[in-house]
Chains A and B, each alone.
Chain A
Amino acid sequence: MTPTVPELLLGNFLALMEPPPPESMGDFLQGRVAVTGMIALLSAQEAERGIEARAWENGAIRALLTASAPAWGDRFGEAAKGVDKDLSLAAMDRANAALRRELIALHIAVEQARDAALDTEIRKLYVKMADARRLDLPPLPAG
């Protein structure tokens, strides 16, 4: 997945622990500190919602694949089997990657068959998936 929270927080530490060269003090260092602060702020949101968002997305994709299997092939039903027993972010992302690959394959088949109804259903799912993972950065004052 995109950088994980453990990677990002480790990265924050690494970014700040090395003393910068003299030419990188001042504005550059100030900017770097601000970005690490944004990452910390957003990491709190990911810690709060990340598991729930992944559990929901994995469940939603499984439901769609299961419902599609009779018309579109057993591979989608097989891919949808299973549940998220390990609720760590890493394990859920691994399961999510496999499910997303099947979702892409299903969508391509749907587009090729010009199935407008299922295409719209998948596009609606994309909107929900993106919204579930959304991170909210408070607007910064223009200054």
Chain B
Amino acid sequence: MSLQDQLGAYLTRIWDQPARVTTISRIPGGASRETYRFDVEVGGETRGLILRRDPVGSLIDTERKLEFLAFRSFHGCGLPVPEAVALEEDGAELERPFFIMSRIDGGKAQSPFTVPPYGDHAAAIGEQFYSHLGQIAAADPLTLPIAEATPAPPLDGCWKAALDYWEGVIDADEEHPQPIVRACIRRLRANPPPPAQKLSVVHGDYRTGNFMHDGAGRIIALLDWEMAHIGDPLEDLGWAMEPLWCYGETDRVSGMLPKAEAIAIWEKASGLTVDPAALAWWDLFASVKGQAIWISSAKEYRAGGLKDPVLGLSGWYTARRQDVILADRLMALEALS
């Protein structure tokens, strides 16, 4: 049975009425999940939906329930977040775990490899990008559905939980010794940041390429919540500003705005204040986390029989680029005293 037929059978069962999938096509990107757009006819109407299905191998090992609940936490709250429709953790008719969400048409996600990514709309998109992130940071995570699926660390333990997790990923997946990222991890441990100002939902992958814009300066969908968790809101800010996501740009973060402007927008929307020393810690952490992901993708590429070129490119080219960023950041730190 084709995926199209499997999906139709599943939706017919859960909606308890005939549902026919009329078109389905896989979307590029989304290396940690197979992502498909499809149309389904049900009750005399056509609905546009998105299927996110676990692949055999993936870039990031994540819980689909977490992502599902993250969408559910922020849909309908004034942010452009699609509606979560259905979740099947055991795979049901589709054989692998998946979830379905509503589809937002009429936009595109920009590759971080493009220059300039947003052209004349960079400032307008940057304003929304950092304002939306500030709104996510402002929300109380313990009142949201995502709290069901992820623990809330203590304010002074956010940094350690995050660093322990990603160092553990490197420990598990490293296939060649990586002295640069290891040195960065030691620096982070030796110089912890101050406690988080508050607990927030951390999107986990908030960056260029993980939102859709309409081509006219408006963000229409915040996507890829698969690494969402509860933690220090500065974690997302550091990740969003990671140099990897603004190809060739040195004076604008995310290919959008000068860093100071982006921080000011985020502070206004979140009601929080950015401690430069704390953000510096999360900036370096972001580069460590990135390298952990690329190390994992290299291992997964081999484990998957070399068939997914996105994993290959990530574990090779992107890892090399991340090493350049890490080494430069390490060099910029103060000397030992």
Contacts and interface: CB of A to CB of B under 8 A. Distances in A.
B307 A14 contact: yes
Nearest to B115: A139
Interface in B247-269: 247-248
A27 interface: yes
Given A7-B302, A7-B306, A116 B335 contact: yes
A12 interface: yes
Nearest to A1: B176
A115 B336 contact: yes
A138 to B, nearest CB: 9
Contact of B118 (A104, A140, A141, A142): A142
Contacts of B190: 111
Contacts of A100: 176-179
A142 B29 contact: no
A111 B3 contact: no
A104 B113 contact: no
A10 B27 CA distance: 24
B327 interface: yes
Q: Interface residues of A: mostly helix, strand, loop or mixed?
A: helix
A21 B179 CA distance: 42
A119 B336 contact: yes
Interface in B293-337: 294, 298, 301-302, 305-310, 312-313, 315-317, 319-321, 323-324, 326-328, 330-331, 335-337
Contact of B28 (A30, A97, A129): A30
Contact of A35 (B2, B180, B309): B309
Interface in A52-79: none
Contacts of A122: 183
B111 interface: yes
Contact of B301 (A3, A36, A133): A3
Interface in A115-143: 115-116, 119-120, 122-124, 126-127, 129-131, 133-135, 137, 139-143
A130 B327 contact: yes
Contacts of A96: 176
A111 to B, nearest CB: 6
A63 B28 CA distance: 46
B178 to A, nearest CB: 8
B46 interface: no
Contact of A15 (B114, B176, B308): B308
Contact of B180 (A14, A129, A142): A129
Given A3-B312, A3-B315, A126-B331, A97 B176 contact: yes
Nearest to A24: B26
Contacts of B320: 2, 130, 133-135
A85 interface: no
A28 B327 contact: no
Given A2-B315, A15-B309, A116-B336, 13 more contacts: A2-B176, A3-B316, A7-B302, A11-B306, A26-B26, A115-B336, A126-B180, A127-B327, A129-B179, A131-B324, A139-B115, A139-B248, A142-B110
9 contacts: A2-B176, A3-B301, A3-B316, A23-B2, A26-B25, A26-B26, A27-B25, A39-B317, A142-B116
